[in-house]
Structure 1
């Protein structure tokens, strides 16, 4: 969902040929025959100018805030990493901004994830034929309590007085497990140097200019999807989900499961964590970001939008679900606009520049403030009382509005550990706009027409004048973009035109229709389990976790004991 695209790492295995059933892990268009945009130098120049305008503070005299907590931005990123990987790099034979045929792109742009809301990013289930499966899977599990996932304590930061340590979590386990914990054991340097997959070498080592391993990156998190350690916010959310799993294990009251042993207990907890996660997406995430009337209709339809998409695109196997290219490469990237430049992170850093949230992740590992240990400094643990509760009027405690304004940090994405220092800064808005053309996404106007025909409901659309009436309209007026509008930009502009608090009708239809469809199309999801919510399961139907019946995102964080 956010700036990870092209800026993070793939899941632990990136060798497509080594994966099981890769042909089923594909992206599909709503309609491969939808009218294509008109490519050319004029359009490419207009896309570049528009992206630069979206990142220019001169066009936005003030930052507009949403009314939701910042955690929803990164919950969205976590969801994105769970369901998709593959629209980041250019497909074979592609020239940026020049579209390839859609049938070729459907064949060559492969989703390296299952497409399902199954938390393979948390549990590493996407790893299928990796040369280091066993080592990595073992490294992620608790050594003496195998039903649980392994978490770690950060490094206490000395101060003039007592060390700067946040009071939550009380047990001190506020960091992901990193390579330094295992470098002398199961993931020894000798074993890691025997890896042949370039992506794995890139993950575990700082590389020499020729691409060969230099020294181990001891700060690298050992998690199911390394992209979840690309910034500290999503890393801390991933940690909260790991901790939730462990607390669900503690809550198990099924004697037969407990008697069956650690693996049975692990699977029992894993199933319920997945259900909680799916329930939170439908009942907290979507209402926080979507137009209420459109969302209510989509939920009432019970996943019909996605079912029609699947039927139109050839069906889906039992253990894989297709994703609309228009969702993954455009509409679900709306969260880019919600990224703040500054956050009220915790009591030690109440005006933290977002660039600092890249400083303590496995992709950078640059010691700061005199901290030389490769684990997270204890004064950088997230304080969710500031970032997950209704923000009110407190400064830096709300996600930025959904609009056409991208924070300055996204105009010059930070260098990662193995980036070429001479590489020019990357502007995320420009990258997104050009990527849409490279992937031959239809214009917003064409996508709306396709969806209207597919669902039998007309989607209200802005005209060219309304599109060009916004803060960056000067970069659109008189260009091809006014009538063949990039879908990603249109989704942001229609939200902005309505106040920036929620997605508009087209954005909501694509985002909510897809995510709800992934839930309803999965027979193992919470949606199909019996329970007390009109006959459907809800978290209150399972044993209380940390004494709580989870009914909100803050409840989940409390159950994980990070709030």
Structure 2
């Protein structure tokens, strides 16, 4: 929770120079900030945010939860099956990056950078966490708790704030603890190297843990800037959190979401309203969205260059996951839960700093990078089987009794994909297709794997916009005319490159 703002006129003057920077509109935006913080507190206190999942569509499931259907889903999602990109892992992590022709079934997306994938994972963790529903066993979404708040409020970073989660904060109760892996920042860790953060999923891989650490530093730099602007100490944390959160929400709406669904669809939703995700009361995470958004798994590369010079002066390359890394103190792969001098992220690989070092992610299609079919147990919340990410995603359709992609498309008035695109299935899935696969196939068939289309684009777009609109403390609700106030390469906007630069985890700050 945010500390309540006293909000006297004299205190607002010092914030005005920082938050406004826009002449006569500054005072109004400062008042908007105070109102937004108070609105968020009221929403949390009065239950205006749902703590369970829900549905958008009242439609029959795509198939029954029978042993035959389960077996067909397991076959679809197995290692070596139809969804496996069959990357030649024997070529090693470097060659799979420098020679993409080695894996022709797993194409690069030239319009996304590698960081898009992990920003998407970070957002997912911020709004949804199902830790209780049984895999493959029909369960009512309304009875399944969502362990995250269904808004973009960075609760995976802030937890309940310094009072509720003092273990995440320094003694000043204003800034986050940040530790070092020997060269650069690392998450704070206990004696067993478990990350001391509100949601352990943000230590699943090196990229997501690096992004979490970057947000810790981002907040700390904002606190320092606000203090230099004269913001009273009693207001520093709440003001810093809202400033960080609004810049983060701007990136979601203006940079990340356009990459997934295109700016025209976003503009249409904002102008004409949401047609399908229209909760009468509290915001919630629809299970249809929860599954469709897993399209991000198809964007994951088999391997990455984590940094340019961390491995004895040489680049550190690794598979996203590699069974050989199990039990190693400094794993050969890029799994999380470890600390070593080379285990940090050089962000020029993941976001475009205009230095020629950025690398792409993979296309949105039905081919999933091979390492994701052999997840480490630590990457599976609660552990357990199966270890194939594709199998887990497909079985989740039975958990939620999800309708087929075709039924949702028909309900939305969206033309169906040609059945010929879906002829690889057994068990009747070619005419009643699991939603996740259908969304991936839409991206592949209609968007050339570059962008989402059809059901996936509309569903994801409406929920993203809806979560921002239903949050009374978001900039889109509280101050729709607000513009970013932190330094940026382009005035009036703010990007991930700007965030990383302000946090001082950019290549220039590291001399790389």
Pairwise TM-score range, normalised by the shorter structure: 0.7 to 0.9
2:341 corresponds to which of 369, 378, 381: 378
Report the counterpart of residue 374 of structure 2 in structure 1: 412
Distance 1:459 1:293 in 2: 17
Q: C-alpha separation between the residues in 1 aligned to 2:430 and 2:175?
A: 53
TM-score, scaled to structure 2: 0.76
Match of 1:151 among 178, 203, 206: 178
Structure 1 residue aligned with 2:351: 388
Do the aligned residues in 1 keep the contact of 2:292 with 2:439 (CA within 8 Å)? yes
Counterpart in the other structure of 1:137:
165
Aligned counterpart in structure 2 of residue 464 of structure 1, from 394, 407, 419: 419
Q: How many angstroms apart in 2 are the aligned matches of 1:235 and 1:365? A: 18
**TM-aligned CA deviation for residue 385 of structure 1:** 0.9
The Cα of 1:139 is off from its aligned counterpart by 2.0
Cα deviation, residue 62, structure 1: 3.6
- Matching residue of 2:22: none
1:94-493 matches, within 5 Å, as: 97=136, 99-100=138-139, 105-125=140-160, 137-143=165-171, 145-155=172-182, 165=183, 172=184, 174-180=185-191, 217=192, 219-252=193-226, 257-258=231-232, 261=233, 263-302=234-273, 304-305=274-275, 308-311=277-280, 315-316=281-282, 321-328=283-290, 330-347=291-308, 348-355=314-321, 366-368=329-331, 376-389=339-352, 397-416=359-378, 426-450=387-411, 452=412, 458-468=413-423, 474=424, 476=425, 479-493=427-441
Alignment-derived partner of residue 57 in structure 1: 86
**In the alignment, does 2:496 pair up with 1:496?**
no
Cα distance between partner residues in 1 of 2:448 and 2:344: 33
Could you tell me which residue of structure 1 aligns to residue 481 of structure 2?
Answer: 536
Asked if the contact 1:74–1:234 (Cα under 8 Å) also holds between the matched residues in 2, the reply is: yes
2:125 is equivalent to residue 81 of structure 1: yes
The question of whether the paired residues in 2 share the 8 Å contact of 1:331 and 1:491 is answered with yes
Quickly say closer, same or farther: Cα 1:149–1:549, change in 2 above 3 A. farther
* Greater mean alpha carbon deviation, residues 56-65 or residues 227-236: 56-65
The separation in 2 between residues aligned to 1:460 and 1:76, in whole angstroms, is: 27
- 1:71 deviates by 1.0
Number of positions where the alignment pairs a residue of Structure 1 with one of Structure 2: 433
Structure 1 residue 560 displacement after superposition: 0.9
Aligned to 1:29: 55
- C-alpha displacement at 1:284, in angstroms? 0.6
Q: CA–CA distance in 1 between the matches of 2:214 and 2:365? A: 29
Contiguous gaps of at least 5 residues in structure 2: 1-44, 89-102, 309-313, 507-512
Instruction: Could you tell me which runs of 5 or more consecutive residues in structure 1 were left unpaired when the two chains were aligned.
Output: 1-18, 128-132, 156-164, 166-171, 181-216, 453-457, 469-473
How many angstroms apart in 2 are the aligned matches of 1:461 and 1:392?
42
Return the offset for 1:463. 3.0
8 Å CA contact 1:244–1:560 kept in 2: the answer is yes
Taking the aligned partners of 2:238 and 2:264, their CA distance within structure 1 comes to: 37
TM-score between both structures, scaled by the size of structure 1 = 0.70
- In structure 1, distance between residues paired with 2:46 and 2:477: 27
CA distance in 2, matches of 1:267, 1:357: 43
Q: Distance in 1 between matches of 2:305 and 2:87?
A: 24
**For residues 382 and 52 of structure 2, what CA distance do their matches in structure 1 show?**
31
Report the Cα distance in structure 2 between the residues aligned to 1:277 and 1:357, rounded to whole angstroms. 35
Partner deviation per Cα, 1:491-510 (whole Å, 9 max, x = no partner): 11110113101111211111
